[in-house]
Structure 1
Amino acid sequence: MRMEPPVHATTVAIRRRGAWQGVMILGPSGVGKSDLALRLIARGWRLVSDDYTQVWTSGGAVHASAPASIAGRIEVRGVGIVSAATRRMARVVLAVACVPEAVERLPEPQTRRFAGVDLPLLALDPRPASAVDVVAVALDALKPRKTGL
């Protein structure tokens, strides 16, 4: 098992294809990571970690959990820190890079490396209402992998 320092990311997960699949949402403060996570949670996803995510690899897969000090809570801008439906950990299968502008219509596939393992990377403006659907479509488009969770 290879542990890494916490990543500035919000991570959410959903049960699909018989396993929990995590999506790590990356970006600078204020770009909309938590807002996108809240909209996904409203559609049945679970919060793994908000703002900072502990990442490690095991068996060639990337896993994520919340640091103990923030577990089970998410920041809602203008409201404060609130509790959310959570998942203690998840195998991460997709990274989403939040960008504050429109993205290319047909970009070349990208990856980002976490703890020595490359994950598919989706660049996404999180502000449009369709952003939650784009994340779901991107997750569905991934080739199924063997999972132990």
Structure 2
Amino acid sequence: MSKVMANVSCVAMRGRALLITGPSGVGKSSLALALMDRGAELIGDDGVTLAQVGELIVATPPPNTEGLIEIRNVGLLEVPTARAPVAIVINLTPEAERLPLGHAAASLLGRDVPQVDLYPDTPYLALRAEAALEMHGLD
């Protein structure tokens, strides 16, 4: 079973995928770019294909925009892509709790994946996303 998700970005870090969700214009592509600057590889921008492979939900580039990422006010950048099992969902929302106790869960193809809500307007967003992957992401 597979599904193409629109309006999400996704990168791979150390063999694990961070699926970035949130409303349009919140900064999903910007966070993906910042994580790429920290060594992540693009899986998909503004869309990703998810498929169940055994017990894992694997993210792969979407066929229509594979290898392209938007740099707001600049244009589209072409980059190599990766694929990886989804380890965490990073949900960008202004309603994120300042000090949550643990994490939530997002359902992807009927499987629960850890979800961490992050406040989108901070220069340290990539550091927070990477820390969330290490603290709460699936191995």
Q: Structure 2 CA distance, aligned partners of 1:4 and 1:144?
A: 20
Q: Structure 1 CA distance, aligned partners of 2:102 and 2:34?
A: 27
Question: Match for residue 110 of structure 1?
Answer: 104
CA contact (8 A) 2:89 2:114 kept: yes
Amino acid paired to 1:109: H
Q: What TM-score, normalized by structure 2, do the two folds share?
A: 0.91
CA contact (8 A) 2:22 2:91 kept: yes
Q: Equivalent residues in 2 for 1:59-74 (5 A)?
A: 59-74=54-69
Question: Share of identical aligned residues, percent?
Answer: 31
Q: Given the alignment of the two structures, is residue 57 of structure 1 paired with residue 52 of structure 2, yes or no?
A: yes
Between stretches 103-112 and 50-59, larger displacement belongs to 103-112
Question: Match for residue 10 of structure 2?
Answer: 11
Q: Given the alignment of the two structures, is residue 81 of structure 1 paired with residue 80 of structure 2, yes or no?
A: no
In structure 2, the gaps of 5 or more residues are none
- The one of 40, 43, 57 equivalent to 1:45 is 40
In the comparison of the two structures, how many residue pairs are matched?
139
- The one of 25, 29, 32 equivalent to 2:20 is 25
Shift, 1:96, TM fit: 0.6
Q: Given the alignment of the two structures, is residue 138 of structure 1 paired with residue 132 of structure 2, yes or no?
A: yes
Q: Deviations over 1:87-106 (max 9, x none)?
A: 1x111100011113553312
CA contact (8 A) 2:11 2:17 kept: yes
Q: Structure 2 CA distance, aligned partners of 1:61 and 1:47?
A: 19
CA contact (8 A) 2:20 2:90 kept: yes
Q: What TM-score, normalized by structure 1, do the two folds share?
A: 0.85
